[in-house]
Amino acid sequence: MLPEHILRSYRRTDSRPTDPPKAIMTDIPDRIQEIADQYGIEIIRDPESDRNHGANAGDIIFLGEFDDPDIEWIAFWHELAHCLAPKLVLFGRGQHMSMISSEGSAWELAIGLAYMHGYEWGYYSKELVWARQQLATYCRNEYLEELTAELDGG
């Protein structure tokens, strides 16, 4: 499902019933491929993935279609951080203490890695605002359940 703002602009510019707009990005941008290659990570564009989302499995990053290349760029760093976390954050441990810890440390590692490669975002940049919004979704999902269980004596 396309984001509502894209659907709206699509409807506005073309009232005929036609195919939905084509994917905005299909190729992997050079800057992403170059960094991935440096870390031995494979990048796969996955149009079946959720729009504006990435995922990872071992040394593979899956990128859905992104509406904004700047958001895709920081999302890539986040997925790269997940791939590198077993070595750089967990020191070989099997798992993070919690989902929010995994996501938060992946964001810190992502921003640190990007900084190391010469990229930096300000606190109010659209990239970091988006990153904080992503992180906040995990707070809601994980900690509300835990806090509720605690209050219930569970």
Q: Minimal CA–CA distance to 72: which of 35, 103, 40, 123?
A: 35
Give me the least distance between CB of 82 and Zn ion, in Å please. 5
Give me the least distance between CB of 100 and Zn ion, in Å please. 10
Cα 51 from Cα 67, distance rounded (Å): 8
Give me the least distance between CB of 33 and Zn ion, in Å please. 20
DSSP state of 60: E
Q: Whose Cβ is closer to Zn ion: residue 72's or residue 103's?
A: 103
Q: Whose Cβ is closer to Zn ion: residue 74's or residue 106's?
A: 106
How many Å is the maximal CA-CA distance in the chain? Answer: 57
List of residues contacting Zn ion (CB under 5 A): 103, 106
